[in-house]
């Protein structure tokens, strides 16, 4: 490779000192034998299979949505929600015009849970269901990913939840450090319950909106939002109490559970400290 | 059974270049385990889309960028991403402890800002020009020049003031 001419006065001795020092670090690496390429290819193959599965799932979901929309006719064109003054409602933009809302999934879509799964009982007792209210058809990837996660949680399938997080390189908040190893234990149940309840609250968008893509967040209440309805939704979902709300509103803004999935369907983050 | 020709191509690329990526990330993060994990993950991602990455003019640049981003993300999220990678991989070897002189080099590097460290590593280890660094990091050329200028000035001063670095490496720090 060609080196561009340096633009600053520079001592060749210093240059050599840095180069030599950095090269020395290579001696720490030399004794380490990198994994064989077969091992790397195997890991890559698993990743590719995961992507294909997501693509097939996304296409199937998109086909179902298109069929639904065609059958429903043009009268379901998206309109801003009633509380459109809230900062956490869908971002008004020129591209939003003409977008169509996703249909609400039927609660029966969740696969049966194994016996002894307390989250399945919780869903049944409290009539919890995945909430994708306000998502548009071009955000079907997020709805699809949320459904995958919901299904795994509803089955108490910690392994599947961790697999989804690994696939998407999901960021976790400070309180969740080590959660991947905890999930399969009894200590993991409150984490899975928190995520399940979070997904049952109405979603919104990150604020300020990201330039590259919209990210959908559950719940829609956020640090900037003063919309009482959004706060009530978080209380109804069971992720904060009324006392939490009062404390957060007067001191910090919302710092409870938050789950973020990109419009394309990458599970971006899960926090329970208001990150 | 004959190996897929793409696999041969990838294996050759991996064998030729992987160690240089580990070296780069090691210098950038100061953590050899993170460097190894991020490098392996970057190559796994490269293989999962090798039909396109393999045709790039500089597939190494793609892998390097992915590994750098993974490393940045791993640090930002207190290693959570890397931990996830470790869970997914069957074997992660542990490297021996670095020798004293290399500990001194890592200590000096740790005193630079992350962006200066990254720029220095890309320039001296990946042998990239200022224009190439600008392209690979998405930063303006003037910014890269400034980072390189300040970073190497600071690093040279730190290295000169460390006696271990001027002597030949011999002793190992007990692990």
Nearest-Cα distance to chain A for B61, in Å, is: 12
- Residue of chain B minimizing CA distance to A170: B81
Instruction: Flag whether residue A56 sits within 8 Å of chain B, measured between CB atoms.
Output: no
Element of type H or E holding A163 = helix A158-168
Contacts 24+ apart (CB under 8 A), B23-26: B23/A25, B23/A26, B23/A29, B23/B125, B24/B64, B24/B67, B24/B68, B24/B121, B24/B122, B24/B125, B24/B126, B25/B67, B25/B68, B25/B71, B26/A25, B26/A28, B26/A29
- Find the DSSP H helices in chain B: 5-29, 32-48, 50-53, 59-76, 80-88, 100-110, 114-124, 130-137, 141-160, 163-166
Return the SS3 of A79.
Answer: coil
> Is A25 within 8 Å of B152 when comparing Cβ atoms?
no
Residue among B84, B95, B132 whose CB faces A28 most closely: B95
Task: Please give the pLDDT value at position B86.
Answer: 41
Residue among B23, B128, B145 whose CB faces A26 most closely: B23
Nearest-Cα distance to chain B for A270, in Å, is: 12
Nearest-Cα distance to chain A for B24, in Å, is: 9
Cα dihedral: B145, B146, B148, B154 (round 10): 160
Per-residue pLDDT of chain A (275 residues; tens, 9 = 90+): 444 444 445 678 888 899 999 998 887 776 556 788 888 888 887 766 665 565 566 666 666 666 655 555 444 433 333 333 333 333 333 344 456 777 766 554 455 667 778 898 888 888 889 999 888 888 888 999 999 999 999 999 888 998 998 888 887 765 556 677 777 777 788 889 999 999 999 988 765 444 445 678 899 887 445 577 888 889 999 999 888 888 777 766 677 888 889 888 989 888 776 44
A residues 177-206 near B, CB within 8 Å?
177-178, 180-181
Task: Please give the pLDDT value at position A198.
Answer: 94
A residues 78-97 near B, CB within 8 Å?
none
Instruction: Flag whether residue A2 sits within 8 Å of chain B, measured between CB atoms.
Output: yes
User: Tokens 């997904």 belong to which residue?
Assistant: A199
Task: Please give the pLDDT value at position A260.
Answer: 87
Task: Please give the pLDDT value at position A102.
Answer: 74
Backbone angles phi, psi at A103, to 5 degrees: -70, 155
Element of type H or E holding A215 = strand A215-218
Query: How far apart (Å, rounded) are the C-alpha atoms in residues B143 and B134?
Result: 8
Element of type H or E holding A216 = strand A215-218
Chain B hits for A174, CB-CB cut-off 8 Å, are 78
Decide: A22 and B20 in contact? Cβ < 8 Å. Answer: no
Query: How far apart (Å, rounded) are the C-alpha atoms in residues A253 and A207?
Result: 13
Task: Please give the pLDDT value at position A47.
Answer: 67
- Kindly provide the ipTM of the predicted complex, given to two decimals: 0.80
Query: How high does pLDDT run on average in chain B?
Result: 79
Closest CA to B25 of A26, A78, A147: A26
CA of A78: how far to CAs of A143, A261, B119, in Å?
16, 21, 47
Task: Please give the pLDDT value at position A195.
Answer: 93
Strands A258-262 and A215-218: antiparallel
Per-residue pLDDT of chain B (175 residues; tens, 9 = 90+): 455 778 889 999 999 999 999 999 999 988 888 888 889 989 998 998 888 888 888 899 989 988 988 887 765 554 443 443 343 333 334 455 666 778 889 889 999 988 899 999 999 999 999 988 888 887 888 889 999 999 999 999 999 887 766 555 444 333 3
- Taking the CB of residue A11, how many other CB atoms lie within 10 A of it? 11
Instruction: Flag whether residue A60 sits within 8 Å of chain B, measured between CB atoms.
Output: no
- Taking the CB of residue B10, how many other CB atoms lie within 10 A of it? 23
């Amino acid at each position: 490779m060609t080196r561009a001419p340096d633009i600053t006065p520079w001592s060749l001795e210093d240059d050599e000192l840095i180069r030599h020092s950095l090269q020395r670090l290579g001696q720490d690496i030399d004794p380490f034998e990198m994994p064989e390429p077969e091992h790397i290819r195997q890991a890559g193959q698993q990743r590719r299979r995961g992507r294909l599965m997501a693509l097939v799932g996304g296409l199937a979901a998109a086909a179902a949505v298109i069929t639904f929309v065609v059958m429903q006719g043009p009268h379901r064109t998206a309109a801003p929600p009633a509380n459109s003054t809230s900062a956490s409602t869908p971002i008004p933009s020129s591209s939003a015009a003409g977008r169509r809302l996703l249909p609400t999934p039927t609660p029966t879509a969740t696969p049966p849970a194994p016996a002894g799964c307390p989250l399945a009982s919780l869903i049944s007792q409290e009539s919890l269901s995945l909430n994708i209210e306000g998502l548009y058809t071009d955000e079907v990837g997020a709805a699809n990913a949320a459904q995958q996660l919901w299904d795994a949680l509803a089955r108490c399938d910690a392994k599947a939840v961790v697999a989804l997080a690994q696939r998407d390189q999901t960021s976790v908040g400070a309180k969740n450090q080590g959660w991947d190893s905890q999930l399969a234990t009894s200590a993991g149940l409150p984490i899975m319950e928190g995520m399940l309840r979070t997904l049952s609250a109405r979603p919104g968008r990150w604020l300020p909106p990201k330039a590259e893509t919209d990210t959908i967040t559950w719940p829609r209440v956020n640090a900037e939002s003063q919309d009482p309805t959004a706060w009530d939704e978080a209380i109804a979902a069971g992720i904060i109490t009324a006392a939490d709300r009062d404390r957060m509103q007067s001191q910090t803004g919302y710092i409870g559970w938050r789950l973020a999935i990109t419009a394309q369907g990458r599970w971006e983050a899960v926090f329970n400290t208001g990150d | 059974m004959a190996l897929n020709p793409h696999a041969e191509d990838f294996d050759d690329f991996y064998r030729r270049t992987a160690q240089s990526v580990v070296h780069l990330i090691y210098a950038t993060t100061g953590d050899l385990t993170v460097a190894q994990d991020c490098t392996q993950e970057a190559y796994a991602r490269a293989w999962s889309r090798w039909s396109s990455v393999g045709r790039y003019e500089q597939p190494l640049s793609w892998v390097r960028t992915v590994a750098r981003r993974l490393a940045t993300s791993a640090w930002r999220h207190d290693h959570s991403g890397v931990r996830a990678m470790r869970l997914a991989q069957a074997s992660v070897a542990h490297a021996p402890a670095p020798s004293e002189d290399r500990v001194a080099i890592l200590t000096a590097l740790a005193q630079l800002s992350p962006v200066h460290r990254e720029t220095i590593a890309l320039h001296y280890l990946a042998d990239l020009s200022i224009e190439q660094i600008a392209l690979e990091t998405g930063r303006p050329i003037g910014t890269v020049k400034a980072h390189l200028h300040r970073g190497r000035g600071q690093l040279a001063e730190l290295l000169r003031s460390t006696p271990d670095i001027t002597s030949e490496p011999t002793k190992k720090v007990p692990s």
